[in-house]
Structure 1
Amino acid sequence: MNNENTHNANRSHMYDTKARISIPSYDALFAMIQSYFRVQLDGGDASLLVIGAGGGNELTAWGPANPAWSFTGIDISEEMLKIAQYKANQLRLENRVNLIHGTIDELPATDEKFDAASCILVLHFIPDVQEKLKLLRTINAHLKPGAPFVLVSAFGDRDSKELQNRLHIWKSFWLDAGDEASSVDEMVNKALMSLSFLSDEHIEKLLTEAGFTNITRFYTTGLFGGWMSTAAL
């Protein structure tokens, strides 16, 4: 293994480890989404749009077991996309994966629309509500009518006692994994609290305004929620 592959393998391992501490049911989440997509796509050839594909976990979770699926992944982080490409290469998925550095606006102009899309752990990094809505509307515009879409995001009313209680529970995941209390507090104060939290009602309103229907929250763990929906007909 050359130096670049070693670097990407180490970063991949670190990213995957942290994701599974932050979201203890991380693997179950991807398994649930796969089940939903499989039923909706009815076992045929399908093109999937992956927003926030850096890290490559959508590729590793869904690629090997679904040989008729192809993936177009977008991420603003070039370093994270290197991890995704490394995973695609390791799993020999290169012929079914196209990774794009940038935002959804970098998608090539085409009349072809996607059969499904995911936006997992991205929305809470977008501070402006109108920019969140713009992203969701653009995803909808790139989907075939009735195509399945899954959104996973941190959620909650920042000023509520309920979110503070969930924060305490979330911190326990890291403490139990061996992190020092001071480093966990720093992570909450500097990183986590910089995220753009919206209530679940507000997220569902944005999905509706973006044109999605059949909006259903199917997943909740710690600080994060997941919603299934379908693109406008």
Structure 2
Amino acid sequence: MNDNLTHNSEMAHHYETNARISIPSYDALFGMVQSYFRAELNGEVGSVLVIGAGGGNELTAWGPTNPAWTFTGVDISEDMLKIAKFKTNQLGLSSRVNLIHGTIHDVPEVDAVFDVASCILVLHFIDKVQEKRELLKGIHSRLKPGAPFVLVTAYGDRDGSELKDRLHVWRSFWLDAGKSPTTVNEMVKTGIMKISFMPEEQIEELLQDSGFTHITKFFVTGLFGGWMCHAGSHSVDSE
């Protein structure tokens, strides 16, 4: 294995290890989303839009066992896209995967009408509410009417006691993984508390404002929640 492949392999391993500590039900989450998409597609060929595809986990979780699905993965990080490319090459998925370095705006609306879409662990890295809304509206505009969409993000009222209790649980995941209390406290200070938390009611309002309907919360682990919904008609104002 050359140096570049070794680097990508190590990056992939590090990313996956940390994700599974931070979200103990990480693998189950991808299984749940796959089951939901399968039920909605009902065995049909499916084009899947993956926002934040750089880690490659959606592609590797859903690609091998769903040979009729094609994937368009988008990520702003070239390094993370290298992980996705490394994984898809390993599994022989390259012919069904198109990776785009950029944002939702780099996915052409005219030729990209998708059957399903996911945005997993991305929204909380966007600070401004208007930018979150633009992302969700951009996803909606690229989906067929009625297409299912899954959003997973950190959530909660930053000043509320409920989020503080869930943060205490999240700390325990890392302590059990062998991190020292000092290290975990630093992770909270320099990492977790830097991301953009929103109360779940506001997240659901954003989804609704962006044109999504039948919004249902289906997943919670630690600091993170997941919502499934459907794209409504494309008459929603895109401004």
For the criterion TM > 0.5, the same-fold answer is yes
Deviation at 1:232, TM superposition (A): 0.8
Mapped pair 1:231 → 2:231: yes
Deviations 1:11-57 (A, max 9, x none): 10110000000000001000000000001011111100000001100
The letter of the residue matching 1:98 is N
Per the alignment, residue 6 of structure 1 pairs with 6
Aligned position for 1:180: 180
The one-character-per-residue Cα deviations of 1:122-174 (angstroms, maximum 9, x if unpaired) are: 00000000110111011000000000000000000000011001001000000
Q: Distance in 2 between matches of 1:180 and 1:227?
A: 33
Provide the secondary structure at the position in 1 that maps to 2:159.
coil
Structure 2 match to 1:152:
152
The aligned residue for residue 117 of structure 1 is 117
Q: Identity rate of aligned residues, in percent?
A: 65
Counterpart mapping for 1:25-174 below 5 A: 25-174=25-174
Instruction: Name 2:237's counterpart in structure 1.
Output: none
**What residue number does 1:21 align with?**
21
Deviation of 1:108 (Å)? 3.0
Q: Secondary structure at the match of 2:211?
A: coil
Contact kept? 2:114, 2:143, Cα under 8 Å: yes
- State the distance in 2 between where 1:182 and 1:93 align: 42
> What is the one-letter code of the residue matched to 1:232?
G
Q: C-alpha separation between the residues in 1 aligned to 2:221 and 2:15?
A: 19
Match of 1:190? Answer: 190
In the alignment, the residues of structure 2 paired with residue 111 and residue 78 of structure 1 have an alpha-carbon distance, to the nearest angstrom, of 24
Aligned to 2:236: none
Compared with structure 1, are the counterparts of its residues 157 and 228 closer, same or farther at alpha carbon in structure 2 (3 Å cutoff)? same
Q: Which amino acid aligns with 1:34?
A: Q
Instruction: State the TM-score, normalizing by the size of structure 2.
Output: 0.96
Cα distance in structure 2, aligned partners of 1:9 and 1:50: 21
Looking at structure 1, the residues matched to 107 and 162 of structure 2 have their Cα atoms a distance apart, in angstroms, of: 39
Displacement of 1:109 in angstroms is 4.8
Q: Post-superposition, which runs of at least 4 consecutive aligned residues in structure 1 deviate over 4 A?
A: none
AA paired with 1:153?
T
Q: What is the rounded CA distance, in whole Å, between the counterparts of 2:29 and 2:177 in structure 1?
A: 20
Deviation at 1:112, TM superposition (A): 3.8
- Separation in 2, partners of 1:57, 1:139: 19
Tell me the distance in 1 between the aligned counterparts of 2:108 and 2:92.
24
Residue 184 of structure 2 aligns with an amino acid whose one-letter code is V
Q: CA deviation at 1:183?
A: 1.1
Deviation at 1:111, TM superposition (A): 3.8
Residue 110 of structure 1 and its aligned partner are, at CA, apart by 2.2
Judged with a 3 Å threshold, the aligned counterparts in structure 2 of structure 1 residues 134 and 109 are, in CA distance, closer, same or farther, namely closer
Instruction: For residue 156 of structure 1, give the secondary structure of its aligned residue in structure 2.
Output: coil
Residue correspondences, number: 233
- Output the CA distance in 2 between the equivalents of 1:104 and 1:202: 21
Contact 2:121 2:152 (C-alpha < 8 Å) held by counterparts:
yes
Q: When the two structures are superposed, what TM-score results if normalisation uses the length of structure 1?
A: 0.99
Listed as ranges, the gaps of 5+ residues in structure 1 are none
Q: Secondary structure at the match of 1:119?
A: strand
